[in-house]
Structure formats: structure tokens, C-alpha cells
């Protein structure tokens, strides 16, 4: 039998035991006894997130689970999904003009184009809306 400990983000430790020759089903059984379900959690050992969906991948990873090993348990965030970075940037660019209208502007010389325009303070520089958009890209 292997002694393993599940430790959550708050530092709470849950010690448990699992057979030396465990498989994915046995691991899920131990997890379910400790957490009621594998859903909503990620299990990380030695910096690797265990794949509880694919048995072949799990079998490659389970060698990291040894006697007296601590497995960190992280709660998954609800919602969301995968968005590729290009789509995410397109969404930001589409919303940027509307969001810039909400920001307070001051008549000032732009630090980039040197024109006297209504500018937004960005860090320690004053930048006009047009230069801000170009700078952002």
C-alpha cells in the first residue's frame, strides 16, 4: 500500500492509502472517498496535472505517485472555455474604442505624436486616443 496525502489550497491535508498496483479507476475511487467527486478539481503531483480522463495518459503519469507523496488539489474555475489568443485579441480590439470613450481625458501634448489633443494618462505619460490604440496593437 502507498501512503498518499491530498493537500488543498488552504493547506488542509487528507491522508489516504492506495494499492501499489492501482489503476485509474482505483485512484478515482480514493479521490471520490476524499472529495465526493473528481469533477471540479485538478490533481497535481510534482508539477504535473494528472489526466483523469484518459487512462493511457494517466498510466504514464502514475509513476510520479509514490509512497508518502503529496498530491495538491486545486479547485477548477467554473465556466469559461478555450479561446485562441487571436480571437481574444480581436475581441479586445473591437471593444477598445468604446472603452476608451469611458476614460477621463485631459487636453495635453501627446508623448508620442506631440500633438495637442485630449490625452489619456498611461503610467507616467500622456497619450492621445489614436496613439494609445496604435501603441496597444
Q: Note whether residue 80 is domain-resident.
A: no
Number of domains in the chain: 2
| pLDDT tens digits for range 63-108 | 999 999 999 999 877 766 666 677 878 888 888 888 888 999 999 9
Domain range for 25 is 2-75
Q: Are residues 10 and 71 in the same domain?
A: yes
Q: Are residues 69 and 95 in the same domain?
A: no
Q: Are residues 66 and 120 in the same domain?
A: no
**Sign of the CA dihedral with 79 first, then 85, 86, and 89 last:** positive
Q: Are residues 118 and 68 in the same domain?
A: no
pTM higher than 0.85, yes or no?
no
The domain boundary residue, chosen from 75, 102, 119: 75
| pLDDT tens digits for range 43-70 | 999 989 999 999 999 999 999 999 999 9
Q: Are residues 91 and 55 in the same domain?
A: no
For the chain, how far is it from start to end, CA to CA, in angstroms?
56
Q: Are residues 59 and 101 in the same domain?
A: no
Task: Tell me which residue of 18, 84, 97 sits closest to 50, measured CA to CA.
Answer: 18
CA 113 to chain centroid, in Å, comes to: 38
Is the confidence at residue 131, as pLDDT, over 70? yes
Q: Are residues 7 and 71 in the same domain?
A: yes
- Residue 24: CB partners within 8 Å, gap ≥ 6? 52, 55, 58, 59
Amino acid at each position: 500500500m502507498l501512503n498518499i496525502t491530498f493537500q488543498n489550497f488552504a493547506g488542509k491535508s487528507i491522508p489516504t492509502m492506495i494499492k501499489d498496483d492501482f489503476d485509474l479507476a482505483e485512484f478515482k475511487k480514493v479521490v471520490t472517498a476524499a472529495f465526493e467527486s473528481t469533477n471540479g478539481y485538478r490533481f497535481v503531483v510534482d508539477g504535473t496535472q494528472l489526466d483523469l480522463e484518459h487512462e493511457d495518459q494517466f498510466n504514464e503519469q502514475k509513476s510520479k505517485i509514490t509512497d508518502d507523496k503529496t498530491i495538491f488539489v486545486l479547485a477548477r474555475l467554473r465556466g469559461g472555455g478555450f479561446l485562441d489568443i487571436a480571437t481574444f485579441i480581436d475581441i479586445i480590439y473591437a471593444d477598445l474604442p468604446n472603452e476608451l470613450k469611458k476614460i477621463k481625458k485631459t487636453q495635453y501634448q501627446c508623448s508620442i505624436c506631440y500633438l495637442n489633443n485630449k490625452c489619456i494618462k498611461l503610467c507616467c505619460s500622456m497619450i492621445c486616443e489614436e496613439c494609445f490604440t496604435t501603441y496597444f496593437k
